[in-house]
């Protein structure tokens, strides 16, 4: 169990996953949470990260900070996604180890698995085949981060936990038109289209790929649970347990947003990996399961985004 007065450094506390972890730990009574914005601490800067650890001496670290983006961002800027994530991970992981952090949580992504992996994807499928080309740089970085944690654990007995969530959505998601993932992109587009009474909305791809979506609060619950209970360094999948086609997702979000127009698909644009369904049976066997249904999560996210737009207009 983590001590209630422990110093917990949550990297990326303003991001979707980091902020969810902050909310969860604060809800559970942890008040000594270390937070640094990018302006205060650039995690890519090795000396800056070292000075932070020298000064603060955190007891526990959760690495939720990363350079992230959608298909086009990943495809266009492979070098930056590989290099910047490697820099962030190497700096934070090694300074955590060197400064005696009691336990470290590494957060990755389902994209670490081969693009043609059998479905549902088991942890042992890692590195069994080629990666999805559209996000290979990001995936390689996350694999390297997990492996570094694993090696430090096995060689030196350092306590690490590595969690690989499926596609995430929810509070504090990124709704940027150029860099957002599919779920927030659909929320933004359909809420806007409904407000403007658009007759149709054109979406990328064919709508046939299958994706698994998990609310970010469920990931924060998993981080909290495994930081409290688990001391094995091998990767653990954190998924919702079932998937949905991109077309069905669009239709459900459109309905929740009140969009009445037609949905068209531009098949000239990339679909990405056809299917990514995680096998989360290991996490379930260890005692964690998701609590937020997709219908509930869609309704909550659409309402939050509407509230965000309302706040911007005031």
Residue 311's pLDDT band (cuts 50, 70, 90): low
- Output the CA angle 105-106-107, nearest 5 degrees: 115
For residue 208, count other CB atoms closer than 10 A to its CB.
13
Catalytic residues: 138
Residues in a beta bridge with 211: 244, 276
**Residue 152, SS3 per DSSP:** helix
Contact in structure between 294 and 241 (CB atoms under 8 Å): no
Structure-block tokens of residue 45: 């800067």
* Whole-angstrom distance, CA of residue 119 vs CA of residue 267: 24
Closest CA to 241 of 210, 281, 274, 272: 281
- In this prediction, residue 271 carries a pLDDT of 83
* Whole-angstrom distance, CA of residue 18 vs CA of residue 25: 11
Residue 310's pLDDT band (cuts 50, 70, 90): low
Structure-block tokens of residue 244: 């949905």
Q: Is the pLDDT of residue 69 over 50?
A: yes
Distances (CA, A) of 90 to 129, 144, 157: 25, 9, 18
> How many H helices and E strands in the chain?
10, 13
Q: What value does the mean pLDDT of the chain take? A: 94
Structure-block tokens of residue 105: 């949580």
Convert the pLDDT of each residue in 250-261 to its tens digit.
999 999 999 999
* Whole-angstrom distance, CA of residue 242 vs CA of residue 248: 13
- In this prediction, residue 57 carries a pLDDT of 98
DSSP 140-204: HHHHHHHHHHHHHHHHH---EEEEEE-EEESTT----TTT--HHHHHHHHHHHHHHTT-SEEEEE
Beta strands in 179-267 (DSSP E): 200-204, 210-211, 213-215, 236-238, 244-245, 262-266
Give 20's Cβ-side CA count (13 Å radius): 22
138 φ, ψ (degrees, to nearest 5): -65, -45
Structure-block tokens of residue 76: 């266009």
- In this prediction, residue 314 carries a pLDDT of 42
Q: For residues 156-172, give the mean pLDDT.
A: 96
Residue 22's pLDDT band (cuts 50, 70, 90): very high
Q: For residues 158-180, give the mean pLDDT.
A: 91
Structure-block tokens of residue 149: 């944690």
For residue 267, count other CB atoms closer than 10 A to its CB.
11
Contact in structure between 70 and 182 (CB atoms under 8 Å): yes
- The percentage of the chain sitting over the pLDDT mark of 70, rounded to a whole number, equals 97
Structure-block tokens of residue 72: 């086009």
Q: Worst-scoring range by mean pLDDT, 31-35, 72-76, 233-237? A: 72-76
């Amino acid at each position: 169990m983590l001590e209630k007065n422990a110093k917990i450094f949550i990297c990326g506390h303003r991001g979707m996953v980091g902020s969810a972890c902050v909310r969860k730990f604060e809800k559970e009574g942890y008040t000594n949470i270390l937070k640094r914005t990018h302006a205060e601490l650039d995690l890519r800067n090795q000396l800056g990260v070292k000075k932070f650890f020298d000064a603060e001496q955190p007891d526990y670290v959760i690495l939720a900070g990363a350079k992230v983006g959608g298909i086009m961002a990943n495809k266009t800027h492979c070098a930056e996604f590989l290099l910047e994530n490697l820099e962030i991970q190497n700096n934070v992981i090694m300074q955590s180890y060197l400064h005696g952090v009691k336990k470290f949580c590494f957060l990755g992504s389902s994209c670490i698995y081969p693009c043609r992996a059998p479905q549902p994807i088991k942890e042992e499928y890692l590195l069994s085949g080629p990666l999805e080309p559209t996000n290979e740089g990001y995936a390689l970085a996350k694999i390297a981060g997990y492996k570094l944690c694993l090696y430090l654990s096995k060689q030196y007995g350092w306590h690490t936990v590595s969690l690989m969530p499926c596609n995430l959505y929810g509070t504090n998601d990124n709704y940027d038109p150029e860099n957002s993932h599919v779920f927030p992109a659909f929320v933004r587009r359909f809420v806007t289209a409904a407000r403007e009474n658009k007759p149709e909305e054109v979406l990328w791809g064919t709508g046939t790929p299958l994706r698994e979506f998990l609310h970010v609060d469920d990931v924060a619950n998993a981080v909290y649970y495994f930081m409290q209970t688990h001391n094995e360094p091998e990767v653990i999948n954190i998924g919702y347990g079932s998937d949905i086609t991109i077309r069905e997702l669009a239709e459900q979000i459109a309905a929740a947003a009140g969009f009445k127009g037609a949905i068209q698909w531009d098949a000239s644009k990339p679909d990405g990996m056809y299917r990514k369904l995680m096998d989360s049976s290991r996490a379930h066997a260890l005692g964690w399961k998701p609590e937020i249904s997709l219908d509930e999560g869609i309704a909550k996210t659409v309402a939050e985004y509407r509230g965000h737009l309302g706040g911007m207009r005031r």
